[in-house]
Amino acid sequence: MTSTSEAPRGNQFRTYDRESSVVFLKTNERFGGLSNMAPGFPLRVNGVRIRTSEALYQACRFPHLPDVQRKIIDEHSPMTAKMRSKPFRKDSRPDWDAVRVKIMRWCLRVKLAQNWREFGRLLLATGDRPIVEQSRKDDFWGAKVAEDGSLVGMNVLGRLLMELREQMKGDEAESLRVIEPLAIPEFLLFRQPIEAICAADGWEKPIGIEPHASQPTASPLPRDLPQPSLFDQPTIARGQMNIQQSNRPAEAYTSKKPMPYSGYRDSGLPWLGEIPEHWEVRRSKYVFREVDKRSETGEETQLSMSQVHGLVESSKIDTWRLRSESYAGGKLCEAGDLVLNRLKAHLGVFAHASMPGVISPDYTVFRRVDGAEVRYFEHLYKSPIYKTELRKRTKGIVEGFWRLYSDDFYDLRVVVPPTEEQTKIVAFIDSYDRRVRRLIRNKRRLIGLLNEQKQAIINRAVTHGLDSNAPMKPTGIDWMPEVPAHWEVKPLKHWLRERAKALGDKTSPEYEFDYLDISCVGTGFLTAKPERMKFEDAPSRARQIVQKGDTILSTVRTYLKAVYFIENDWPDLIASTGFAVLRPVEQVEPRLLGYVLQSSTFIERVIRASIGVAYPAISEGRLGTLHVAFSPHLAEQKAILDHIAAETAAFDEAIEKAQSEITLIREYRERLIADVVTGKLDVRHVEIAEAADEPIADDEALEEEGDDTEVMEGADADD
């Protein structure tokens, strides 16, 4: 039990009974792992390994002094890391006293996310008892022993741990998977903005904790939270900081997290469940009405639909995509309209028009009936639960010709918050998206850099072998001028066996398989998991049967450098016909062929041999004429493989980790947006700062379009 004590710092002091509290002082005690000084809970921030949360906390004092940060982080013990910071404390960031509690809270969340099982179990083992750090001198972070044996102090660390413990137990546990950077100026590590941090592998809901209902009908139970003056002190404005400014662009931050609404009611729709009690449920026809105005000349701005970019000017998207020769007779839309690709409604292909223009006549234009925020409904129709309902309402026999007719769209019930709340929801999603895009962009750049280093190792091994003193011979090939003298140089087709078999048109409609399209494949790794689908639902390009030992190489959009070796048994794996499926003869190790085909020298040769500017492609016949070289000795081939495996293992691990983080971030984003637009989470209280005008680069897109994403007008024609 705690009670408020009159003390110089007012009502921030607490008095704790030792017998009823969890008290820690030394790190080797039962709950010593709760201390920032406890070893055994390593962290990783921006790819930098940090031994303890204490070292991370101390490093955050000096965002403008990367050399000091390095000295702190390089210390082997948390105590020496703390001591290392002392001589420089006069140079701490100017707003340190105002932000130190926020930084400590963030450090604890990082410690939990990256040590979920060990630290999480320790935290949950405290039950519902107060957590207190006993200290001999510090009554701010901890509490000191009073004459009567009780512990008195502000106990900020203990209260932060109690706060984190309650988050683990409740609906907020899911939010602990991703720890976003703090909304404070100059939150840097080695002069680089600290990125969002994802939970380590093995994250799972705490064992033994039952989740709360997803739509609670009452406010969460109160917690022993510190006073606002302690946990929410104002930060110093960017202009007041007398430290070096970073190049980090201004962006929108939120000061509070989304929380469930205080009251819910039954929506009357079994597939939707409960909704906030003040939201309405309407048929879509009372929110939107179809308009069908046609262009007489086709001279209006031509707009095209993309799952990635939305509805944009056709001239800004790759010129290879099919377009109508004339837009005369095309449909006209105005800014604020909702445009639907009725052939792909079940995939959530809705987009708002940000400008007037002319679009494909096969699209449907809906105009809001009242003051609806069209972008809220765009997100709503794209949510998984609504895509499922849209799929039920589409009509057709063959995938690609499933249509959503206007009457069926009109009959779909939608949840309708008040207009001002719709606007707030859209602002929240925009703010969150900016941060996610930037994070994914940075992860992709990291993957690119790692892969470049990996490819350099592979390229050297597969073109020069392992013996640097071996005699070389000229090849007469510009991209591979010389190889070891005993190697054999032949066109690729001479090193290959029969072509891969394909699924026939008589394949059972119920046959299920994993489908690989170009959007799933990078250079030597998968960028996304293959999609599981039935033959009847699959695109017409999902035909090529792939097996262990095959290498798939994209023959379309060759600039994407999509090459991947199938290393393990993978039943029911099907690749797009946009790939060449290459299977080596017995004289070549399959894995080595994969390395040769993903080497930078070979890929660049493929790109140069491709035909087309915006949509370069190479035929399999032309591909087979490109020369490659192999050692005639399998033992030497295996030695090269062993060398590459040893030298690239660390790169593979880092690439896989970064790609897993991207997947996790995307999944979390989709889940968060769905929860917000369907009323599971309330964002009305979330304060969103104005975002600076910042163009979104192509590589910041949240999803990559694959070779099977037909998004332009020509793909929507009835024939």
The pLDDT of residue 700: 40
Asked if residue 636 belongs to a domain, the reply is: no
Q: How far is residue 423's CA from residue 429's CA, in Å, rounded to a whole number?
A: 10
How many distinct structural domains can be found in the chain?
A: 3
Tell whether 212 is covered by a domain: yes
Phi, psi (deg, nearest 5) at residue 481: -65, -30
CATH code of the domain containing 100: 1.10.357.40
Q: Are residues 147 and 218 in the same domain?
A: yes
Q: What's residue 254's pLDDT? A: 43
**Rounded distance, CA 412 to CA 283, Å?**
6
Output the CA angle 469-471-476, nearest 5 degrees. Answer: 130
Task: Tell me the C-alpha distance between 554 and 599, whole Å.
Answer: 14
Q: Is residue 655 part of a domain?
A: no
Domain-embedded: residue 115 = yes
Looking at residue 317, what is its pLDDT?
57
Say whether both 153 and 218 belong to one domain. Answer: yes
Q: Residue 617 forms beta bridges with which residues?
A: 556, 611
The mean pLDDT values, 10 residues at a time, for the chain of 719 residues are 40 85 90 92 90 95 94 91 92 92 94 90 92 91 92 93 88 76 89 82 45 34 36 38 39 61 92 93 93 88 77 63 63 90 72 89 88 91 88 68 81 94 94 88 86 86 88 84 92 87 90 90 85 87 92 91 92 92 93 91 90 83 92 94 92 87 88 93 82 44 37 30
The strand pair at 303-306 and 480-484 is best described as unpaired
Give yes or no: residues 405 and 318 share one domain. Answer: yes
Which helix (H) or strand (E) segment holds residue 156: the answer is helix 156-169
Tell whether 595 and 697 lie within a shared domain.
Answer: no
Q: Does residue 640 lie in a domain region?
A: no
* Helix, strand or coil, per DSSP, at residue 480: strand
Q: Give the domain CATH number at 615.
A: 3.90.220.20
In a domain, 448, yes or no: no
Task: Give, as one character, the DSSP assignment of residue 536.
Answer: G
**626 and 682 in a common domain:** no
Q: Are residues 85 and 210 in the same domain?
A: yes
Q: Is residue 314 part of a domain?
A: yes
Report the alpha-carbon distance of residue 279 to residue 269 in Å, rounded.
Answer: 14
The 3-state DSSP class for residue 481 equals strand
Domain boundary among 224, 240, 256: 240
Q: What is the pLDDT of residue 171?
A: 64
pTM above 0.85? no
On whether both 551 and 603 belong to a single domain, the answer is yes
Write down the H helix ranges in 31-155: 53-59, 66-74, 78-85, 96-114, 116-124
Q: Let me know if residue 249 belongs to a domain.
A: no
572 in the same domain as 675: no
Residues 668 and 592 in one domain: no
Do 617 and 674 share a domain, yes or no?
A: no
Q: Look at residues 182, 206, 240 and tell me which one is the last residue of a structural domain.
A: 240
Q: Are residues 85 and 31 in the same domain?
A: yes
Range of the domain at 106: 2-240
226 in the same domain as 98: yes
